[in-house]
Structure 1
Amino acid sequence: MKWATIKKYLPLIGIGLFIYLLVRLDVAKVFQEFNSIKWDYIAISLVFVAIFFILQTLKWFVIARKQKINVPFGEAFKINLIANFYGFVTPGKIGTIIRTDYLKRKGTETGKGLSNFVIDKIMDICSLFALVAIFGFLRYKKLIPDSYLYLMIGIFAVIILLFLVFYKKENSRFFLRIIYRRFIPNRLKEKSRVLFNSFYEDLPSLPFLSFVFLINIITWIMNYVIIYLVGLSLGINVKFIYFLMILPVATLVAQIPITINGFGTRELTMIGLFGILEVSAVKVFSMSIFSIIITNIIPCIIAIIILLLDKKNEIHNIKTSG
């Protein structure tokens, strides 16, 4: 079987795992947990969801400003919602790259939009690794094996090293020269050159990226506060510090592209780690599902409405101009 075919069906692994967990834990019991939800915690969590999306937009918006990409924050917020919708339905949230296309429609060169996405994504992943390392070494209870932590730190170091090397245009030009000369068709060489140059145009300084890194850390913690509140609403009375030890690990596992939006792999990891704290698998699974509804499905519905309205306006403008 060809690798392309295998990749096509890889996301089904996580979906199958998610369905297996749902059936194994008993769907009826999961819905029983929903019936006992304390809605005051959910109301508070919705406020944090709004703050989370503002921060999530801010972290790539400030990069865009440094790159001289002139997009209003309100428009950036809308683009972020739409990008999250596409990310929700694709493995590894790769669909969020649609943001590049929206920035192009606003007059941004493809290379600049692409570098904005890449920097944001790398800062996202690096901050996640940092959280795993920071909270993983806390010894309230030995939840995370040392071998796993050292592996994560090693991967984190490699990502940082590669980022620092390729962040310099000259280094990238040196390493990519062979690919450019041997594998890029002549008809695409000029486009590739323009794309490469625009990718490195107006890149933010490394000290500035440390500020973006901090915003990413805060954004992740905000996301985990939301899940913590959902957990409280379901009667999961575990200290927040344990959420900060467990959830970054589950989030990293969810990045493995064998599922869509981490379905299955995230839940399995959370059930295993929260199980050490004697939290029932049904409660953990219910917490995960309800968190997805709040942080993903509701924003996705809003994004779909925005897309439909944009399409309606586009059709109206075509008819008017015609």
Structure 2
Amino acid sequence: MRLIRSPAFKILTTLAFFVLISLKVDVAEAGRRLLSLDPFLAIAVTGMSFFALLVQAWKTSLLLREKTVASILRVSIISQIYSVLFLGQFGGDIAKAGYLLRSASELHRIVAAVLFDRITGLIGLLLIGLAGLLVDKQQFDPVIAPTLALAMAALLMALLALFVLTDTSSARLIKWLPNRVGRHLFDIIGAVRVFSSSLPTLLASIAMGVAFQGVVLINCSWLGSGLGINLPLSTWAVVICVMSLVLLLPISIGGIGLRDVTLVGLLGSCGVASDLALALSLALLGLQLVMVAVGGILMLLPQPELPPP
């Protein structure tokens, strides 16, 4: 874990991926493809990306009803900075919890809400990915398709199992951790179980997770079509699902290189030219950097006054 947190490790990993891509793909041509993108489409796709964050903020507000959607959206945008510079998406989640936290007494509840939000979001992602495979499995290699389906189904079952963990099972899972860490994790798991014990809350959060991933899916397919990548939504569902899961690995800066390799490999198996796949990856990186820039501006602005908890 200490190695993964090291900036040097991330820089070296990012450079290694970049060299690999440079050897396999015409980077200059990918750049030209990217520059040919319609500016109005680029603006629209950027706006849709922020709309996706709005949907995500609304989803989080189902769990933290004392927080406004606007305040959660602000925090979600700022957390994009941490997603790029630190431990990937989990780094963003940690920052999100930190910004939402207002007193030590609500620590476990806030962390549990962010964790629950992440889990139901992943469930929504996996449901969309599995649906895409069922509809369009012939688009992928006969070996790759069932392998992906099995992996997605196994991960989905593991995530759902978290909602039915008993105190005894939780204690067994975390007994190897240091007492202080284990005690906090045990309390967080208990708080997550409180959220999941309400079936309407659980189903609503999963439904919003599907909605969020649906917006991301449509946005990516829209961006891809603007670059000349014409694939059915079912294929995009699988591509986005796999790419999003891979990007959970905090081994490069902002997913640079990792996203490129994943998209070039997956889209290549669907007959998409490698330079087009790389152009899409660079466009997605550009969207992320725009969010980081907006997040930086929001950090500099005074935080709106909120009522006491």
Q: TM-score over 0.5 for the alignment?
A: yes
Q: Does 1:79 find its partner at 2:65?
A: no
Say if 2:21 and 2:261, in contact at 8 Å, map to a contact too.
no
Question: Is the Cα–Cα contact under 8 Å of residues 163 and 193 in structure 2 kept in the other structure?
Answer: no
Deviation at residue 275 of structure 1 after TM alignment: 1.4
Q: Which residue of 2 aligns with 1:240?
A: 233
2:296 aligned partner: 304
Shift of residue 243, structure 1, vs aligned partner: 1.1
| Distance change >3 Å, CA 176–CA 32, structure 1 → 2 | closer
Query: 1:266 maps to which residue?
Result: 259
C-alpha distance in structure 2 between counterparts of 1:235 and 1:196, whole Å: 46
* Corresponding position of 1:317: none
Query: Relative to structure 1, is the Cα distance of residues 235 and 111 closer, same or farther in structure 2, using a 3 angstrom cutoff?
Result: same
Q: Distance in 2 between matches of 1:194 and 1:291?
A: 37
- Of stretches 105-114 and 91-100 in structure 1, the one that deviates more from structure 2 is 105-114
- What amino acid is aligned across from residue 63 of structure 2 in structure 1? I
1:56 is aligned to 2:51: no
- Report the identity percentage: 18
Residues 106-148 of structure 1 deviation map (CA, whole Å, 9 limit, x = unaligned): 7861111110111011112222222222212333423443123
Unaligned runs of 5+ in 2: none
Q: Give the aligned partner of residue 120 of structure 1.
A: 117
2:286 and 2:239 map into 1 onto residues whose CA distance is 20
Partner residue, 2:213: 220
Deviations 1:234-289 (A, max 9, x none): 12222333211222112212222322333222221221221133211111111111
Q: Distance in 2 between matches of 1:18 and 1:197?
A: 36
Paired residue type of 1:4:
R
Deviation at 1:12, TM superposition (A): 4.1
* 1:109 and 1:198 in contact (8 A); partners too: no
- Alpha-carbon spacing, 1:235–1:305, altered in 2? closer, same or farther (3 Å): same
Relative to structure 1, is the Cα distance of residues 173 and 93 closer, same or farther in structure 2, using a 3 angstrom cutoff? closer
Structure 2 CA distance for aligned equivalents of residues 246 and 61 of structure 1? 29
Q: Match of 1:279, SS?
A: coil
Of residues 45-54 and 143-152 in structure 1, the stretch that sits farther from structure 2 once superposed is: 143-152
Residue-by-residue CA offset, 1:206-234 (whole Å, 9 max, x unaligned): 33211111111111121122222221221
CA contact (8 A) 1:128 1:217 kept: yes
Cα-Cα RMSD: 3.2
Measure the CA separation in 1 of the matches of 2:204 and 2:276: 37
Over 3 Å counting, the alpha-carbon distance change for 1:227 and 1:178 in structure 2 is closer
Matching residue's letter, 1:145: A
For 1:45-194, list aligned pairs within 5 A.
45-65=45-65, 70-96=66-92, 97-105=94-102, 109-138=106-135, 139-143=137-141, 144-161=144-161, 163-166=162-165, 170-171=167-168, 174-175=171-172, 183-184=178-179
Q: Deviations over 1:166-205 (max 9, x none)?
A: 3x5x44675479569xx436xx99x959966984696351
User: TM-score w.r.t. structure 1 length?
Assistant: 0.80
What secondary structure sits across from 2:64 in the alignment?
helix
Query: Which portions of structure 1, spanning 4 or more consecutive aligned residues, are displaced by more than 6 angstroms?
Result: none
State how many pairs are aligned: 298
Query: What's the offset of the Cα at 1:62?
Result: 1.0
**For the residues of structure 2 that align with 1:111 and 1:137, how far apart are their CA atoms?**
38
Give the unaligned 5+ runs of structure 1. 315-322
* Aligned counterparts of 1:22 and 1:37: Cα–Cα separation in 2: 21
Max Rg structure = 1
